[in-house]
Amino acid sequence: MVVKFRRKSTPSHRGEPSASVDERLVPEERPVPAAPEIGPFDIDSAPEGLITGDWVDLGSMMLAPAPGKELRLQVDEKSGQIAAVMLTAEDGAMELRAFAAPRNGDLWTESLPMLRQDVQQRGGATADLEGPWGAELITQMKVKLPDGQPAVQQTRIIGVNGPRWMLRATMLGRPAMEPSAGKEWEKLLEQVVVRRGTEAKPKGEALEVKLPPNARRVEK
């Protein structure tokens, strides 16, 4: 997997729940979550032997090797912090973001109406979809191609609640439009492992993504 590093302007966080600090959980009292049947997994309940030496460790996320895909880290130009993780290929891409959530909370259900409203207020269209992880959101926004021609960009947004975290995956390109193309990307999402940490964080705060040692900067 090629790891690249590029700059990107600050992404919109509209439509995410307002912050309220969740309770501090004493490390030795942290409950061990039951292992789900499919991922994404919490670091404490990942199947034994799943994580191997060729995985990419990004701090709050660990990703399995993905042949034919590039891993791009989108950086906020103002803060210099990594804002999102992107897996890209010729036919599309998948953006991954992990957020802090309260214990026993359902941040994804809380986020859905806000995301839907944000898209509609910006002139886009939305539709609800039931997928492998439950409720999903399909969005369509009018955009301009590099040659100036108008087009419609469709995205498929998936949310997964974990133990005090929520992972949001946004598919673009063919994976967002064609179910058959999306299956391959769903398999990648199933193998994501989230490392939330034990410290108290505001609800909805993005979990820190760290630069892996083999990353190289690619300017836009």
Mean pLDDT over 51-61 rounds to 94
30 pLDDT above the threshold of 80: no
pLDDT, position 218:
60
Query: Residue 163 is encoded by which pair of tokens?
Result: 């133990």
When pLDDT is averaged across residues 28-38 and rounded to a whole number, the result is 54
Residue 24 scores a pLDDT above 50 = no
Strand-strand pairing, 134-144 and 150-162: antiparallel
Average pLDDT over residues 186-199: 95
d(CA 22, CA 208): 17
Q: What percent of the chain has pLDDT over 70?
A: 80
Domain boundaries, the chain: 41-113+158-206
Q: Which of 32, 136, 16, 118 is nearest to 127 (CA)?
A: 136
What end-to-end distance do the CA atoms of the chain give, in Å?
20
pLDDT of residue 70: 94
pLDDT at 4: 55
Residues above pLDDT 90, as percent of the chain: 68
pLDDT digits (tens, 9 = 90+) for 100-128: 999 888 999 999 999 999 999 999 999 99
pLDDT at 9 over 50: no
Which pLDDT does position 213 carry in this prediction? 73
Reading the block at residue 150, the tokens are 């108008």
Average confidence (pLDDT) over 138-148: 92
C-beta separation of 96 from 28 below 8 A: no
- Burial environment of residue 58 by CB neighbours within 10 A (0 to 12, 13 to 18, 19 or more): buried
